[in-house]
Amino acid sequence: AQKVTQAQTEISVVEKEDVTLDCVYETRDTTYYLFWYKQPPSGELVFLIRRNSFDEQNEISGRYSWNFQKSTSSFNFTITASQVVDSAVYFCALSEEGGADGLTFGKGTHLIIQP
């Protein structure tokens, strides 16, 4: 069965610092999809990025970047020059091709950006 581990329960940094959120996954499938979602204090999960298992190219979107490494089964998320509005709980998730279990989420990392 698939599993997603986000070892960092809570991270607190001062505004403008860079911060990396770790995500390690386990799956037996060769085809799978990885996602990051943001859950701000309002509670609604917001999609940030998806990546399929055949695309290891890193991605940058503004201050956000993602590093996917199959060799270490990791899909880490970096926020550059963090801002207070980045404060939220961030979830990493995994979906297997043809799987019947929906998205498997990690426990989430609570990110606190202090002004």
> Which spans of this chain sit near other proteins (rule: CB under 8 A)?
31, 33, 35, 37, 42-47, 50, 52, 91, 95-108
Closer CB to other proteins, residue 13 or residue 64?
64
State whether residue 114 is helix, strand or coil: strand
Closer CB to other proteins, residue 15 or residue 64?
64
Report the nearest approach of other proteins to the CB of residue 46 (Å): 8
The strand ranges marked E within 27-98 are 32-39, 46-52, 59-61, 64-69, 74-79, 88-96
Closer CB to other proteins, residue 31 or residue 58?
31
Q: Answer for the pair 67, 59: CB distance below 8 angstroms, yes or no.
A: no
Burial class (CB in 10 A: 0-12, 13-18, 19+), 13: middle
State whether residue 87 is helix, strand or coil: coil
Closer CB to other proteins, residue 98 or residue 115?
98
Report the nearest approach of other proteins to the CB of residue 87 (Å): 18
Report the nearest approach of other proteins to the CB of residue 54 (Å): 11
Report the nearest approach of other proteins to the CB of residue 49 (Å): 9
What is the chain's alpha carbon radius of gyration, rounded to the nearest angstrom?
Answer: 14
